[in-house]
Structure 1
């Protein structure tokens, strides 16, 4: 079976394949995606295992740093929060990330946080700088 395709780019989020016009291209794309998905998923699971994080649940800022290399105190606006709100934000943010599957958590990391005390919520801007999420003090998010 001759497959007339080449891989152009492979990164943590996707595999992009340039189709050059062969009927077997769909099969190759599915095989590549399946391989990449399983490889990536196992790599992520290994990070949790190596760092002794049971049940794949993030609990604190140290867990975030060990799994993602992500320092929560680098989030814009985090340093402006009062100490009680910093602790609450970390707890809520970890719970928010835990609600997603292992492969989707990295997409929901924050770049900026604002507190809205009168509404009892945090507004977090995601790393893509286009989307935001509200984390309510009671644990709900939307």
Structure 2
């Protein structure tokens, strides 16, 4: 004789795990994000409306990583590593502070200077379709990033 009541709790647990696994990231405002703002390596693809053009000497692509203890921001600007802090507030507000970088000199520093300036000026963001965009109210879009593919 079968005892179906033994399988009911197991089935319920499997359904619950499936639903939790499919839920994705939820932002503070309750909307779902394809990827999380924090813990994702964001590869810089545009500054303003200009596509990023790297010099032939560039071996690494500029990127941003948010997360860790104390809301730390870090990344690579095209020549130097950088680091600092950030704050996220309700309404998709973001603010970077105390940004600093290593002091290597490279033939072309324009992308790095513009990238760090965009971080300093940004006051809001959106994350949609694996894309992070940083904005400044009066200046419009400052930078666009794509989530790095997981390997």
User: Normalized against structure 2, the TM-score is what?
Assistant: 0.25
Q: Give the structure, 1 or 2, with the largest relative contact order (CA under 8 Å, sep 6 or more).
A: 2
The answer to which structure has the higher strand fraction is: 2
The answer to which structure has the higher helix fraction is: 1
